């Protein structure tokens, strides 16, 4: 170990303690991030399902409008 660091009161035991503390914090952050990613993925899946449903409804409504216009044109002729 570097003598200058030891002379400032930083020991190898302290460094190992800090390293373990950082490791624990990183594991916690990793766990939280994994949970966040799962939540976002679930929301994305739900959003895509809603969008697909809306597109289907929009297509159906446009088809109904087209049919009504055709019937209107036929009856006016």
Note whether 1 and 12 are within 8 A (CB): yes
pLDDT tens-digit map of 3-22: 666 566 778 888 899 999 99
Full-model pTM = 0.59
Please give the C-alpha separations between residue 58 and each of 50, 55, 65, 75, in angstroms, as whole numbers.
12, 5, 10, 26
pLDDT tens-digit map of 20-55: 999 999 999 999 999 999 999 999 999 999 999 999
């Amino acid at each position: 170990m570097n003598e200058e660091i030891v002379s400032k009161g930083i020991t190898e035991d302290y460094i190992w303690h800090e390293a373990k503390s950082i490791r624990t914090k990183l594991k916690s952050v990793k766990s939280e991030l994994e949970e966040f990613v799962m939540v976002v993925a679930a929301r994305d899946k739900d959003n895509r399902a809603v969008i697909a449903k809306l597109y289907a409804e929009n297509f159906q409504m446009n088809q109904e409008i087209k049919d009504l216009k055709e019937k209107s044109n036929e009856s006016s002729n």
